[in-house]
Structure 1
């Protein structure tokens, strides 16, 4: 079970103290528990941040709908297409709260940094992960001036995604180079809920994040994208990446309350979600064997059937819609995925198809990625091979890579939504559903799912000037301003 960072303490009231033994003017002494920790244990703090991140991104948060996977089938408040500027404030603030904790770990361990390399590397890597995920949701955010209240910066400026991405890639490379040339001897500790203290997996995770970030910016910073991906992939001995299902960066939940997997928490008491029609139709058309794991047949007739994206009314028969599969929703000790190994090989396949030198052909990388995804879902190797010889056969197109990557990213919904925003695939996300061309909010009409998550209310209240300067063309909180790396046209 996740440990508490600080001991809980009970401080007696001043009145009680007066009754017990007279007066004192040393209020600091009165309110200090001699048994309480002055600072948190670094491994406990790391564990707290990992769990906090998994909690924020592990549940239903609309990205599963924006990614084209899951739809609401009851209580049709249409929340997924009606985001407000206060809907996702906790996701924004979680990044900054977590970075305070991570900075505290680095500060605590700085004196003995040479003896505490491993936990410092893990901490620094997770900081970059948080920055990447946060900017991919909100766009421009406070970065270079963030969390500097002690310096008098109460209203930090917003940095462009170009600045943030370059900073992330620079920092990850520095960490990767250190881990390639040095060796740590310390135990990260029980708070490493991601890799259980396996430093080599943290090293692989670092380089995998480099691939993810680099491919994201391929359409706006192609030289940096190419050089980063080629550097990693041409020397996997120096820069290893997550490369098998056992390496997947999954937060695995403990399984008892309150540390149950968030989708399972919802499953225990709710039945509001079904599978999206575009997801079901794609998987059935491809005769994809993963379908039996990812979703269940409709109870009404044992057929796989989805429901309309963005529907304004519930289906007439709830039993006619497929539900989420047992592996993904019905396990209290299930997982929240942060990065799957197959993602690395989809990136390599795309890079190779672009003609880059990544030490592997596009076809081999693609087939490896699909096999890893099949393995993630418990599909037998023979069935994976049969799929690759039939409907999933390599056809030398980006579309084939993107569509397979979309399927493979299921439950890593933020990444799938981001894949769509970068590539425009699956095309059906924009062309299906009730919202395109007639989705009206605040007097405006939009033809696509949200481009971003809305900035939280507090930013409009306390840092509005900097927010407006960073995103002057926002429309209805989540449209108007696309991500820096989103170069699609024809969406609004």
Structure 2
């Protein structure tokens, strides 16, 4: 009897397991509602991929106004001479520093593993324009343009390695490979993210927390650059209580003690940006400047350095719808303007920060001068891409930027050479100590704004 009872129990257990397993195996189908969307339906017309693409597109240049302000306006935009603050920020926000740094391994991995995928994708797609048409807010599903973009990004990344001694030849190989494969060469292929509402416009037009930086205004005023009217608003300051009168374009320096916001916002120009403006990711001018620099190094970039430099300026003029590029590139005399602040006498900077002119100078003796020209003009053409401008400033030392008025780093950051990186926030040390020790051990210096990143290797020159 006991034996029979045991068999019944064992059979019941086996039956339960079998039935339970069968139920689990068919769980999705049994419990799916008649009209619920399944995986096959989600895959139709690329919806499952396109839905993710929509979100990812908004992270390249942050489209949420607070994230845009953290990344572009308060950090990289200020560090690159593009943007200055009109308010005091002490204790008004929590830590916004990114928790990790971009290191050599993922940088190289992106180049070697990601780009072949795009080439294969284009080769295997019968109709490149049809893919993700309803989700791609940059190129509307045109994979041929995406391929040019990825090759252009590859060129940009390769150029970041030029001052890393052990990677100089690798940088050349990658750059030449990208140009041969086909990069952005015309404004029709520029990468702009089209949005229903550009919320970054709120930072400048509604919040009024930032204005155009004194650096870029000084350069463009000195060059009498016709792109100013397309990029910045003008200001007219005649109040006798201010330091000087202004009727034109004026920028604000970083590191100053501000007064009230109302007194500040009317004295400085702001970027011309509306709620319908697209977000710029990359333009033909930048890529042509990269090719000009590569040619300056002696690489095969499909043209001579001087010709590519002049062509890049012409592309930027065309992008902004202004004329006179030939006259501009032939200018041998105009230099950046000395900085005069309409609000404060103590922030003025006597003499121009740089003496670089616009016109190309022939001869090997002018390598460094011509490099400064390329980077300076690319910096102007790339406004307001603060992260890229700050990166190129750290890589090359150009353009020459105005030193911060009040350096409050306690000696951690060199006033003349500016901040080199964002340090890890305190929460990483309290909640992620083991990993943060590994990360900071790779820095080659203390975890502060004065320590240079692995690709920031060019010896400092006199400012």
TM range (shorter): 0.7 to 0.9
The normalised TM-score by structure 1 is 0.68
Change (3 A) 1:33 1:420: farther
Of the structure 1 ranges 348-357 and 179-188, higher mean CA displacement relative to structure 2 is found in 179-188
Where does structure 1 lack aligned partners over 5 or more consecutive residues?
A: 1-27, 93-137, 141-160, 255-259
Q: Tell me the equivalent position of 1:350.
A: 293
Q: Tell me the equivalent position of 2:329.
A: 388
Asked whether the 8 Å contact 1:67–1:416 carries over to 2, the reply is yes
Change (3 A) 1:36 1:424: farther
What is the CA-CA distance between 1:32 and the residue it aligns to?
8.1
Candidates 353, 372, 375, aligned match of 1:399? 372
Number of residues of Structure 1 aligned to a counterpart in Structure 2: 375
Question: Does 2:163 correspond to 1:219?
Answer: yes
**Secondary structure of 1:299 counterpart:** strand
Return the alpha-carbon distance in structure 2 between the equivalents of residues 359 and 281 of structure 1: 33
Where does structure 2 lack aligned partners over 5 or more consecutive residues?
A: 1-27, 43-47, 238-245, 335-357, 363-369
What is the CA-CA distance between 1:403 and the residue it aligns to?
0.6
Counterparts in 2 of 1:199-238, with a 5 A limit?
A: 199-220=143-164, 221-233=167-179, 235=180
**Secondary structure of 1:166 counterpart:** helix
Asked whether the 8 Å contact 1:72–1:78 carries over to 2, the reply is no
**CA deviations over 1:359-382 (Å, ceiling 9, x no partner):** 2000111111111111222212xx
Q: Which has the higher contact order (CA 8 A, sep 6+)?
A: 1
Candidates 452, 456, 459, aligned match of 1:482? 452
Q: Tell me the equivalent position of 1:76.
A: 88
Return the alpha-carbon distance in structure 1 between the equivalents of residues 212 and 80 of structure 2: 12
**Structure ID, larger Rg:** 2
Return the alpha-carbon distance in structure 2 between the equivalents of residues 47 and 72 of structure 1: 31
Return the alpha-carbon distance in structure 2 between the equivalents of residues 449 and 36 of structure 1: 56
Q: Tell me the equivalent position of 1:304.
A: 249
What is the CA-CA distance between 1:183 and the residue it aligns to?
3.6
Counterparts in 2 of 1:224-373, with a 5 A limit?
A: 224-233=170-179, 235=180, 239-254=181-196, 260-300=197-237, 301-314=246-259, 317-318=263-264, 321-326=267-272, 329=273, 331-373=274-316
**CA deviations over 1:387-438 (Å, ceiling 9, x no partner):** 1122532225111101101111101111011111111112224xx2313xx4
Change (3 A) 1:242 1:224: same
Q: Tell me the equivalent position of 1:433.
A: 404
Q: Tell me the equivalent position of 1:133.
A: none
**Secondary structure of 2:280 counterpart:** strand
Q: Tell me the equivalent position of 1:450.
A: 419
Return the alpha-carbon distance in structure 2 between the equivalents of residues 232 and 38 of structure 1: 40
Asked whether the 8 Å contact 2:419–2:450 carries over to 1, the reply is no
Change (3 A) 1:67 1:32: farther
What is the CA-CA distance between 1:199 and the residue it aligns to?
1.1
Return the alpha-carbon distance in structure 2 between the equivalents of residues 439 and 32 of structure 1: 61
